[in-house]
Structure 1
Amino acid sequence: MIQEPKSASPIAGTFYYDIISPFSYFYIKQRHRLAKRVDIKPAPILLGGLFRSTDNRGPGEVEAKRPHTYQYCVWRADKLGLPFQFPDHHPFLTAAAQRLLAQQDAQWEMVERAFEYVWVEGKDPNLSWPQFCQYLGLASDTPKPDAPEIKAKLISNTEKAKVDGAFGLPTLVIQGHAFFWGGVDTIDWALDYLDRPEMFEEVTYQHDGQLPSGL
């Protein structure tokens, strides 16, 4: 009797996120496409801190980009068949919520609930903290984390994201390669990389990834 070869075990991947990002919401709702190939661990960071450390800005901070980006999100959610509702204001501060997720070592179920509170319920956790905690399955009187070790953990995650090549969110890191942003667009790129792990060693990738600036 011929035995079928065993399927390879999933490789490890790190998914950096901040609930401020609608593109991260889209991504996590599509992560099942990678589930058989990558064991993805969610890691909360502070997007604002990552932007500052990489001299970057989010589209919500650029007046000309705001309408286009937000309307694109409405279109993208509709195409993906996802419920979607912007909070009453955006961007907003996420430090307390991200610290809570770091404190809880939040796994996918809680991470998804946190994103859904913002992008399905359309709420800012800062304005409804007890309800946010309950939505995550925690006690309504859970305090906003203020312990130095939790703050340090979130800062460390953010610094690690930069070292891993992240400059925005969402970013999935696999074997030292960062697949950034676009909501779900780079899932296909990640899948192609898994089929072609020598991709980034190819001449075109090496050459074009090191092009000098002409400015």
Structure 2
Amino acid sequence: MKHLRFYFDPISPYAALAFERLPEALAGCSYSVEYRPILFAALLHAVGQKGPAEIEHKRQWTFRQIAWSAHKLGIPMQVPAQHPFNPLPLLRLAWASAPAGGTPNRLTVEKIFRHVWRAQGADAASPERLAALAQELNPPRDPASEEIKENLRDASEQALKLGVFGVPTIEVDGKLFWGLDALEMVAAYLRGDPWFEQGDWEAAARARPGVVRRAMH
């Protein structure tokens, strides 16, 4: 059995779709999953990149593609009233819902994702809705505690050290698979596709020195 780590931030619609799609995509494979909430904004800051929703034409394409992907996969999805929003309360609630030293279970993560992406366009950051979700999850630890904030910081920093640059990312055996469309690759790896063992994985990532972009004046 392979052990997967699913890195996510509930702000990401791709992470929401990958979460919903995961069991079907990996049907018949032998695996376990550890769900690890991390702060997507910390990844963007570390690599000096804007989020998709911060670039207007990219934002438009992203949500068109997401709407199409949800339609194609038969997964109900509604964009929240405000996006991007501050995901910190949800990330901390996810960690607080896990036992000390552990990670949140799939049911907890499902409720958090659906709070954002299956709420008929409601505000994901609404204090009233967040309070209702916290009451439903009834976390054993305080989401506002320094312990929980440290859990989130540590998880985000560890993800960066592994090379995680976006969400969703699935890590298995030290290999990183990024994005909704990587689920097929994960399934192939779990089923023992020889492509991963004959050097193609490493060869595809080999650096090819090229032109260095310079700032325009």
Native 8 Å contact 2:82 2:124 kept in 1: no
1:1-215 alignment to 2 at 5 Å? Answer: 10-33=1-24, 34=26, 36-105=29-98, 106-121=104-119, 122-127=121-126, 129-135=127-133, 137-138=136-137, 145-181=143-179, 183=180, 185-196=181-192, 199-215=195-211
Q: How many residues align?
A: 201
Give the CA RMSD over aligned residues: 2.2
CA distance in 2, matches of 1:77, 1:13: 24
Runs of at least 5 residues in structure 2 that lack an aligned partner in the other structure: 99-103, 212-217
Residue identity (%): 30
TM-score w.r.t. structure 1 length? Answer: 0.84
Deviations 1:154-193 (A, max 9, x none): 0111111122221101001001001101x2x111101111
Question: For residues 24-70 of structure 1, what are the alpha-carbon distances to aligned partners after superposition, in whole Å with 9 as ceiling and x for unaligned?
Answer: 11111111132642201101110001111233332111122011111
Can you give the 5+ residue segments of structure 1 that lack an aligned partner in the other structure?
A: 1-9
User: Is the 1:179–1:189 Cα contact (8 Å) retained in structure 2?
Assistant: yes
* Residues 18 and 44, structure 1, Cα contact 8 Å, conserved in 2: yes
Distance 1:66 1:13, change over 3 A: same
Deviates more, 1:35-44 or 1:172-181: 35-44
Relative distance call for 1:196 and 1:135 in structure 2 (3 A) is: same
- Structure-2-length-normalised TM-score: 0.84
Q: Look up the SS of the partner of 2:130 in the other structure.
A: helix
Q: CA deviation at 1:102?
A: 0.8
Per the TM alignment, residue 99 of structure 1 is displaced from its structure 2 partner at its CA by 0.8
SS of the equivalent of 2:57 reads coil
Deviation at residue 12 of structure 1 after TM alignment: 0.9
